[in-house]
Structure 1
């Protein structure tokens, strides 16, 4: 079995569904692997666990929306499946080294995570 193709397919699915709830079982089922084995293969191929990958991608999309829209931070947080603005702010600050409000104020040109991650 070509695991690179399986992971590519699952990443495409993740990218198209970042604003929806994504279950590990759902991803594994799409590529005909068990949850355990899919998680193991994904981590090996991508270099990080599935959940961490999804969280980072959601935060990157949210960062783009912070810069490109005037949407409320809480609305962006909820759109990308964070349970609250506080949970979003904590995760965002961990990845980008500053809270979303400051990030938006600074209007950063490049959406690159800091080395704090």
Structure 2
């Protein structure tokens, strides 16, 4: 079986559903593998568990939205399937080393100073 094709298909599914609830069982079903086997193969090929990959991708999209929109942080958090602004802030801070509000403020300030 070509696991690379399965992983590619699963990543495409994840990328198209970052704003939706994604269940491991749904992804595994899309590539015709059991949840257990899919999780093992995904981790082996990608280098991180499925849930971590999804969380990281959602946070990356959220960071992009923080920089390029004026949407409220809570709205961005909910859009990317975080249960609350607090859980979003905690995950965001873990990945980027600062809370979303500071990230937005710092990046916006540096963009303005670079443009001047």
SS at match of 1:107: helix
The structure number with the bigger radius of gyration is 2
Structure 1 unpaired stretches of 5+: 110-117
Structure 1 position 61 matched with structure 2 position 61? yes
1:24 maps to which residue? Answer: 24
Q: Which moved more, 1:99-108 or 1:6-15?
A: 99-108
1:73 maps to which residue? Answer: 73
Deviation at 1:106, TM superposition (A): 0.9
Higher helix share: 2
The count of corresponding residues between Structure 1 and Structure 2 is 109
Structure 1 position 83 matched with structure 2 position 83? yes
Q: Distance in 1 between the 2:31 and 2:14 partners?
A: 13
Q: Distance in 2 between the 1:61 and 1:27 partners?
A: 20
Deviation at 1:42, TM superposition (A): 0.1
1:51 maps to which residue? Answer: 51
Deviation at 1:49, TM superposition (A): 0.2
The RMSD of aligned alpha carbons is: 1.0
Deviation at 1:107, TM superposition (A): 1.6
Q: Distance in 2 between the 1:68 and 1:106 partners?
A: 13
